[in-house]
Amino acid sequence: MFSKVLIANRGEIALRILRACKELGIQTVAVHSTADSNAMHVRLADESVCIGPPPAKDSYLNIPAIMAACEITGADAVHPGYGFLSENARFARILEEHKVTFIGPSSHHIEIMGDKITAKQTAKELGIPVVPGSEGEIKTPEEAIALARGMGYPVIVKATAGGGGRGMKVARDDEEMRIALFTARTEAKAAFGNDSVYIEKYLQKPRHIEVQLMGDGKGNAVHLGTRDCSLQRRHQKVLEEAPAPTVPMDQQLRIGEVCAAAMRKLKYSGAGTIEFLYEDGEFYFIEMNTRVQVEHPVTERITGVDIVYEQIRVASGETLSIKQENVNFYGHAIEVRINAEDPQTFAPSPGKITFYHPAGGVGVRVDSAVYQGYSIPPYYDSLIGKLIVYGRTREECLQRLRRAVDEFVVDGIKTTLPLFQRLIKEPDVIAGNYDIHWLEKFLAANKA
């Protein structure tokens, strides 16, 4: 086991990792920008190192500064969390070269899954169902149009290097196809420095369903069931639940097993998530994330597996402690993302928290790194906490969520808590009857 882990992240996930390390008896090193000197992860870590000024590119994405922090503190492993450097194959490789363990998959697996065309081809070869589309990169409008006509419109143009919903454009006819190809390319070039795009069938009313996976790099892998993350705004998840409420359990277990078998074949190590769109009873692979996800706690709640603890264990060379036959699913869990944003306009709302009272009680977990008197800096994403509730049934879970959201107080800044107060009264949300477009439509209809 490691003796000292450097946590290359901030906010709630830095704290989540820190807690797992403490429980494992591992020393922790926090790194932080000058804007985060008073952050909770810095206060609670055994040691901390300032790695640069506020902009993420100069601090949390600053590989030389993080490598220097490893050197100074003698950390033997780095946990990247999510976002920032978590899916950066180059960072993983540099750590490998410096004999510091990257708590995550091999740089090779990050690379395969980071390029969407390669990821899709790999998924297909591993027997995972994919969205119908082009075999690889699309070069000319003529090629795109011929393919789209063959598949039938609408189609979606997606950036090979895509992420965060950027570089995606929908086309409903030949004319739109020409425009979509051009704009997706331009956007991808600007965002990722790579203008390679591909096309796939545009699914009209799918749900976003994902499978949580865990492997040990020795050919052992398990799935920890599904999550439904269909409630999204601008392709960003807002509420997640486990298990997926509308997919029959036997089908969930089947897709889980297909994914776990794929991970065994790849000898995948660490936590990973395979994301699917689900429409008319069929799963279609869209991408794989090679890291821990924001919404991992709902899976932890219904399986009893500590995902971050397992990540650290397998990275240190231990065998997976879980066997598929011992993974059981209990009840239902829902997570809502509390963002420092205006609940109507979603404009960021950084600033000082003047009063803070998190929800508590039976079946409630709060993962957050804020405290009363803390000032949320304007430089990073707006997630300030996650409220995770559990119930023996989905109905009980929703009742508890209602109570917990009412109890939660964050004063001094605007948060998305009022949005959840509205959402949990909606008949479609109560019934679990929503697709990936539901929230945008709800927000548009409730603007006035």
Q: Please report how close the Cβ of residue 282 comes to ligand ADP at its closest, in angstroms.
A: 12
C-beta of 165: minimal distance to ligand ADP in Å? 4
Stretch that binds ligand ADP, among 121-129, 197-205, 216-224, 255-263 (CB under 6 A): 197-205
Between 166 and 403, name the residue whose CB sits nearer to ligand ADP.
Answer: 166
Which is closer to ligand ADP, CB of 13 or CB of 51? 13
| Candidate residues 64, 136, 152, 165; the one interacting with ligand ADP per rule CB under 6 A | 165
Of 32, 109, 185, 208, which one interacts with ligand ADP (CB under 6 A)? 208
Site for ligand ADP contains 203 (CB under 6 A): yes
Cβ-based nearer residue to ligand ADP, 132 or 304:
132
Nearer to ligand ADP, 204 or 319 (CB): 204
Q: One symbol per residue from 254 to 283: x for binding ligand ADP (CB under 6 A), - otherwise; what is it?
A: ---------------------x-x------
Site for ligand ADP in 288-317 (CB under 6 A): none
Task: State the minimum distance, in angstroms, from the CB of residue 114 to ligand ADP.
Answer: 10
CB 45, min distance to ligand ADP, A: 31
Our answer to whether residue 291 is catalytic in this structure is yes
Name the residue among 356, 306, 365, 333 with its Cα closest to residue 239. Answer: 333
Looking at residues 121 to 160 of the shown chain, list those that interact with ligand ADP (rule: CB under 6 A).
131, 156
Q: Does 441 bind ligand ADP (CB under 6 A)?
A: no
Residue from 10, 185, 291, 365 carrying the catalytic annotation: 291
From the list 8, 144, 147, 286, which residue makes contact with ligand ADP (rule: CB under 6 A)? 286
| Number of residues near ligand ADP (by CB under 6 A) | 20
Q: Is 436 in the site for ligand ADP (CB under 6 A)?
A: yes
The smaller minimum CB distance to ligand ADP, of residues 2 and 198, is found at 198
Q: Which of 74, 136, 152, 164 binds ligand ADP (CB under 6 A)?
A: 164
Q: What is the nearest approach in angstroms of ligand ADP to the Cβ of residue 275? A: 6
Of 228, 287, 295, 335, the residue at the interface with ligand ADP (CB under 6 A) is: 287
Within 10 Å of residue 201's Cβ, how many Cβ atoms?
17
Binding mask 213-242 for ligand ADP (x = CB under 6 A): -------------------x--x-------
Instruction: Pick between residue 55 and residue 163 the one whose CB is nearest to ligand ADP.
Output: 163
Please identify, using beta-carbon distances, which residue of 167 and 270 lies nearer to ligand ADP.
Answer: 167
Burial 130-166 (b: 16+ CB within 10 A, else e): bbebbeeebeeeeebbebbeeeebbbbbbbbbbeeeb
Which residues contact residue 105 at a Cβ distance below 8 angstroms, ignoring those fewer than 6 apart? Answer: 92, 215, 217, 268, 269, 270, 272, 290
**Greatest extent of the chain over all pairs of C-alpha atoms, in Å:** 61
Q: Print the SS3 string covering the chain.
A: CCCEEEECCCHHHHHHHHHHHHHCCCEEEEEEEHHHCCCHHHHHCCEEEEEECCCHHHCCCCHHHHHHHHHHHCCCEEECCCCCCCCCHHHHHHHHHCCCEECCCCHHHHHHHHCHHHHHHHHHHCCCCECCECCCCCCCHHHHHHHHHHHCCCEEEEECCCCCCCCEEEECCHHHHHHHHHHHHHHHHHHHCCCCEEEEECCCCCEEEEEEEEEECCCCEEEEEEEEEEEEECCEEEEEEECCCCCCHHHHHHHHHHHHHHHHHHCCEEEEEEEEEEECCEEEEEEEECCCCCCHHHHHHHHCCCHHHHHHHHHCCCCCCCCHHHCCCCCEEEEEEEECECCCCCCECCEECCEEECCCCCCEEEEECCCCCCEECCCCCCEEEEEEEEECCHHHHHHHHHHHHHHCEEECCCCCHHHHHHHCCCHHHHHCCCCCCHHHHHHHHCCC
Query: Among 74-82, 199-207, 316-324, 380-388, which window interacts with ligand ADP (CB under 6 A)?
Result: 199-207
Nearer to ligand ADP, 208 or 223 (CB): 208
Contacting ligand ADP within 72-131 (CB under 6 A): 131
Interface with ligand ADP (CB under 6 A): 131, 156, 162-165, 168, 200-203, 206, 208, 232, 235, 275, 277, 286-287, 436
Which active-site residues does the annotation give?
291
